Amino acid sequence: MRDGSGSDRIGFFGCVLAPSEKLRYVPGEVNFARPRLAGVPRRQPVLRIAMLSSQREFYGGEVHLLDLAVALRDRGHRVACFVRPDSELRRRLVAADLEVAALPLVDWYEPVGMVALARRLRDWRPDILHTHNPRDYYIAGAATVNLRTANVGTRHHLRPIACARLKRPFLRRFAAMIAVSEAVRGSLLAAGLPARRVVTIPNGVRLPVETACATDLRRELGVDAAAGPVVGCVGRLSPAKGPHRLLWAAALLRRRWPGLQVVLIGGDSGNGGYARRLRELAADLRVDARFCGYRESAARLLPALDVLAVPSRAEPFGLVTVEALARGVPVVATRSGGSGEIVRDGRDGLLVPPDDPEALAAALHRMLADSLLRERCRRSGAARVAARFTLARQCLLTERVYAAAMAGWPPVAPATAGETRLTGAGAGR
């Protein structure tokens, strides 16, 4: 960025650096420390940040974008969001009083959306274009050609980048790529992205001020509070998320817990076929299951559960896991993807192998039968979220990635798996 005098000096966290002045760099650490220049006050610069997503539905990645956009706006930045006109994300961004522009975003190879985005960016001139959907990486890379806008991406998926060779020239235009977990970071490195430009920043949540009464929430979900324990799964109903594994585990628990109730919160990912098969499976297994459908504020309903089950085959991060721990809900999750980076087995919850209903049933029984374990997990899990998975911490780390991207200095990989280490202001928050 120019400093207004016409010179090629770089604005970095409110300081002005000449090309000869160096940022402090510690190998092996995510180090976005402010440069210490004598006589220059430390202050938070106001950035113009554009958020981009062509996603129509609203799940974990879209929650991430909405929460981050609001948090950055509340910290004084100018935030504008470029999204599809028919998306649930657009409706929620407008409700949050954010600047929103609807664009004809369809897919990564479609030029109309790219041209429309390029025109918007030329008019608005953001410092940062933050892209949140994998198919938008090409659009972002192409639309920012000849613009003084730094590209930053966030990756929410474990699967490899599709058509990576075709997209590699455009991915090179990204100064930084944020992975929401070390597992996701590994998939990005496998796709050929340079390690120095890929940094792990876990998703964060707002700490709940108060928690609703479990009895009232169960009544809202149509659950009999007196019948027996309640185990639930929250998220899109899809084979990868594994609600069918929870139903099989519940069937194995029926003798020990005859009043066990299973709550499934989430919409079907397809045409309704998978949800229909789940209902048939629950009937065949004689499992008392409640299909609650998509709920706009699913996190608020988590205290209705005695235990949250996360039976995914591989979870990129696990935002619902963090939401549950923040509200003191014990968690049993599969030891795959990002879940193992959130839950410490036996301390914050229990971890089991993926695709193993018997192990899932055993862990659920252990959690339900041991009140001391549940209480320990409630306390430890809530403390872990407060220390590592807050929205404030995520926002701070993201601002530092923005600053590094604007300075042309890519971030470096974390030294320790699962830990994003910082030096300088904000370290340890």
The pLDDT tens digits for 186-211 are 989 988 889 999 999 999 999 988 77
pLDDT of residue 262: 97
Tell whether the model's pLDDT for residue 11 goes beyond 60: no
Q: At what angle do helices 391-406 and 60-74 cross, to 10 degrees?
A: 80
User: Model-level pTM?
Assistant: 0.81
Give φ, ψ of 30 to 5 degrees.
Answer: -80, 105
What is the mean pLDDT of the segment spanning 138-153? 92
158 or 365: which leads in pLDDT: 365
Ranking 50-64, 101-115, 219-233 by mean pLDDT, the lowest is: 101-115
Whole-number mean pLDDT of the chain? 84
Tell whether the model's pLDDT for residue 411 goes beyond 90: no
Share of the chain above pLDDT 70, in %: 84
Tell whether the model's pLDDT for residue 52 goes beyond 60: yes
pLDDT of residue 424: 30
Go through the domains of the chain in sequence order and give each one's CATH number.
10-204+390-406 (3.40.50.2000), 214-388 (3.40.50.2000)
* Contacts by residues 8-17 (CB-CB < 8 Å, ≥ 24 positions apart): 10/406, 10/407, 10/408, 11/45, 11/406, 12/403, 12/406, 12/407, 13/42, 13/44, 13/45, 13/403, 14/40, 14/41, 14/42, 14/43, 14/44, 14/45, 15/40, 15/42, 16/40, 17/407
pLDDT of residue 23: 33
pLDDT of residue 8: 35
Tens of pLDDT along 415-424?
A: 333 444 433 3
Tell whether the model's pLDDT for residue 227 goes beyond 60: yes
pLDDT of residue 108: 64
pLDDT of residue 409: 54
Tell whether the model's pLDDT for residue 51 goes beyond 90: yes
